[in-house]
Every structure is written in C-alpha cells, then in structure tokens.
Amino acid sequence: KAGVTQTPRYLIKTRGQQVTLSCSPISGHRSVSWYQQTPGQGLQFLFEYFSETQRNKGNFPGRFSGRQFSNSRSEMNVSTLELGDSALYLCASSDGQGDTDTQYFGPGTRLTVL
C-alpha cells in the first residue's frame, strides 16, 4: 500500500496570505489528523476528520480550518498567515476505529512565513 502523501512539501508565503495544504491518506483509512510541529513544542494537534466530519479539534484559532472529501483526502487551510505559523505541518491517517488505531504520518509540509 502507498503511504500517506502530502503536497506541497515546501511552501514559502508572506504574512497575511492564506495557504492550503493537502493530504492523501493510506488507502482504506478514513481518519485524517493534522498536526503542527515546531522546534521544542512537539506535535500540536489541530483537528481530526473521520468520514468527512470533524471529530476532534485542538486549541488553534479559527484561522486554521480543514475539510475532508468523500475519498478521505483532506485539506487544511490557514488564512491571514502570521510569522508564528512557520512550522512543519504533518498529517496522519488511521482506520479511525478499533482499539489500537495507529496513526501513520506523511512526510509533512514545511511552511515558511516571511
């Protein structure tokens, strides 16, 4: 099976712009979670989508939003970018059910805001 893919891998934007990141989960996985990773902060949970519905949400401002399509692909949007949004954005997919529900991560999108 192909792994989790994310596009683009690198992105440079300026303050005030908006950005859309894409994630394609492992075939058959219905859950997609998004994380922000910055040095020293660890992984900060943004939100999780399961079967096109947001199932869980972290403590990020409303500028961060997402959606999931019927084929389980997911997009994350950040509007009005701030310098502090520079980070590695990771998505992880899982089957979304069962006791273990191991998450498998994509390679990430490195966003730089200038």
User: Contact with another protein (CB under 8 A): which of 90, 93, 111, 113?
Assistant: 90
Residue 37 CB burial class (10 angstroms; 0-12, 13-18, ≥19): middle
Q: Cβ of residue 97: shortest distance to another protein, in angstroms? A: 10
Nearest-angstrom CA–CA distance, 31 and 15:
31
Report, in Å, the least distance between residue 21 CB and another protein. Answer: 14
Residue at token pair 């934007």: 13
Told to check if 98 binds another protein by CB under 8 A, we report no
Q: Of 65, 86, 95, 104, which one interacts with another protein (CB under 8 A)?
A: 104
Q: Of 17-25, 69-77, 79-87, 96-104, which part binds another protein (CB under 8 A)?
A: 96-104
25 exposed, middle or buried (CB, 10 Å; 0-12, 13-18, 19+)?
A: buried
